[in-house]
Amino acid sequence: MSSGAGALPELAAVPWRPRASAESLRRRGAVWTVLTTLHVAPFLAVAVVLVLLQPLTAPVALAALAHAWIIPELYAHRGASTIRLRREAPARAEPVAQGFLGDLLGHPERDLQRRTGLALERGALGVWVVGEAGAVLFTAGGRRVHCFCVATTDRDLPRSDRIAHLLLALRTDERGFATVANHAFSGAPWRLARRLGPDARLALRAARRLASAA
């Protein structure tokens, strides 16, 4: 695969992955939905059949329904971990790193980042929410999110520096960024938001509004 001018050098480490595009993300979302349905449907069917055959098996049917609910929740939890802030003591260099990151953002995005710890970025594929260990993409219309797990090679960098590195990589080659990053979740924004705190949900709402208006 030819990386082309301005492409991320990390693409060379994953030559087997086709370059991400809006169409490939739509296919990936559809596949994710089908696979999730295939995992959940048997538990739903078992619950219905058990109750129809023998009402006394209702507790077992409820357990099957619980499994059907938990499976998508576990997937969403994995997706939420891509932008969930780590609990760590602020690095001594964090104020300087925060200033550098702020210089990369517009005024509304800077205010949102300082409040939530997450950076908002509009791209060709949609609207991104960038954290220190990954990013969430709202595709056009804001009805689906894609979560990507990716991190800087230097884990000792201050939090804002890690976010800035990912933001610059995203700006350099958005499709390459989506190709290199590991896809962690795809689904409804509400399911992802349930697994995050109030500040992160604020950033998600802002991103969804922008994606819905696209």
Task: State pLDDT tens for residues 122-161.
Answer: 999 999 999 998 999 999 899 999 999 987 766 678 888 9
- Predicted TM-score of the model (pTM): 0.88
Q: Is residue 15, in this structure, part of any structural domain at all?
A: no
Give the pLDDT band (50/70/90) at residue 3: very low
With 0-12 / 13-18 / 19 or more C-beta atoms within 10 angstroms meaning exposed / middle / buried, residue 202 is: middle
Count of domains for the chain: 1
**Whether 152 contacts 162, CB under 8 Å:** yes
**Exposure b/e, 140-161, CB count within 10 A at least 16 = b:** eebebbbbbbbbbeeeebbbbb
Q: Is residue 1, in this structure, part of any structural domain at all?
A: no
Q: Is residue 14, in this structure, part of any structural domain at all?
A: no
Task: State pLDDT tens for residues 80-132.
Answer: 999 988 766 566 777 888 888 989 999 999 999 999 999 999 999 999 999 99
Q: Is 55's pLDDT higher than 90?
A: no
What does the chain come to in residues? 214
Q: 214 lies in which domain range? A: 21-214
Alpha-carbon distance 4 to 211, whole Å? 28
Q: Is residue 71, in this structure, part of any structural domain at all?
A: yes
Instruction: Read off the DSSP letter of residue 135.
Output: E
